[in-house]
Amino acid sequence: MKRPFFTLAMASIAVPAWGQSPAWSLHDTEVLCGSGAPEIRIKMCTSLIQSGRESGLALLQVYYDRGTAYLQRGFYDQSIADLTKAIELNPDVIYTYIYRGLAYAKKGLNDQAIADYTKAIGLRPDSAAYSGRGQAYDSQGYYDLAITDYTKAIKLNPGDAPAYNNRSWAYHQEDEDAQGLPDAEMAVAMAPQNAHFFGTRGAIYENLGQRDKAMADYWVAFGLDPADQIVKDGLARLGAGP
C-alpha cells in the first residue's frame, strides 16, 4: 500500500479566467505568486522572475513559491530546479529542503530525499522532515529507521495522523502487527475518511487472524477509494472481492 506523504496546504483565491487579460499590478502579481492556485502561481512567479525586479530574499520567496506550485502540479524536475535556486540564495530555510526532498521522493530518488530531510532536521527538528525521511526509509525497506523517524515526527506533532498510519504500516512490514495495531487505530480515529488508513488497519487485522474486522475495514476502504488495488486484493484473499 502506498503511504501518503504530508500534504501541501496551499491557499487558493479567486482569480480571473485564463481567457481574460487583466492589468496585473506588481502587488497583485506578488500576491498571486504566493497564494493562488498552482497554475496561477507558476504564471505569476514566472512573470516576477522574468521582470528582474526581485532580488535577495524576495527572489528566494518567488522561487520557493513557484517550486512548491510545480510540486503540487507534479512537475518534479521543475520543482527541484526552483527549490535548488532558493537554497542557493539562502541555504538555511528548512522548508526548501523539505519540499525538495518530497520532489526527489516522488521521483523515486530516495537517497537524495533522505539527504534533504536530514539537512532540514539539522537546521531545526521538524515533524514534516522526520515524517518525510521515514517515508524514504520505508520505501527502501529500512523499516526500523522509518519507525524511529515516525516516532520522532509524532513526538513533535501528536496530531500527525499519517505518521501514525505509516508507523503502523512499517510495523506490519516487519510482521509486528500487534505493535502496529494501536497506531492504525489512532490513525483511523483521527482521519475516518481516509481509505488508506482503513486499508492499513485491515491488513493488520488480517495478519492477526481477525478476519471479520479485516473484511469490515477493507469494505470501508473500498467504499472510500474503489481504485485501491491493495484493498481489492485483501478482499479477494478473504473471498469477498468486489
Task: List the single range of 2-11, 31-40, 115-124 with lowest mean pLDDT.
Answer: 2-11
The number of distinct structural domains making up the chain is 1
| C-alpha dihedral (226, 204, 172, 147), degrees to nearest 10 | 90
134 domain residue, yes or no: no
Domain span at residue 70 reads 27-90
Would you give the DSSP letter of residue 159?
T
> 199-218 pLDDT, tens per residue?
999 999 999 999 999 999 99
In order, the DSSP letters of 5-34 are: PPP----------TT------HHHHHHHHH
- For residue 64, give the CATH number of its domain: 1.25.40
- Does 102 reside within a domain? no
% of the chain surpassing 70 pLDDT: 86
Residue 80 lies in a domain: yes
> Each residue of 76-91: pLDDT tens digit?
999 999 999 999 999 9
Percent of the chain with pLDDT over 90: 73
191 domain residue, yes or no:
no
Residues 164 and 183: their CA atoms lie apart, in Å, by 5
Mean pLDDT of the region 127-154: 97
Q: Which three cell numbers stand for residue 50?
A: 522574468
**32 in a structural domain:** yes
Residue 53 above 80 pLDDT?
Answer: yes
Domain annotation covers residue 118: no
Instruction: Report if residue 188 sits inside a domain.
Output: no
Q: Is residue 94 scored above 80 in pLDDT?
A: yes
Q: Do the domain assignments include residue 120?
A: no
Q: Which among 134, 194, 202 has a CA at the least distance from the CA of 166?
A: 134
Q: Which residue has the higher pLDDT, 17 or 128?
A: 128
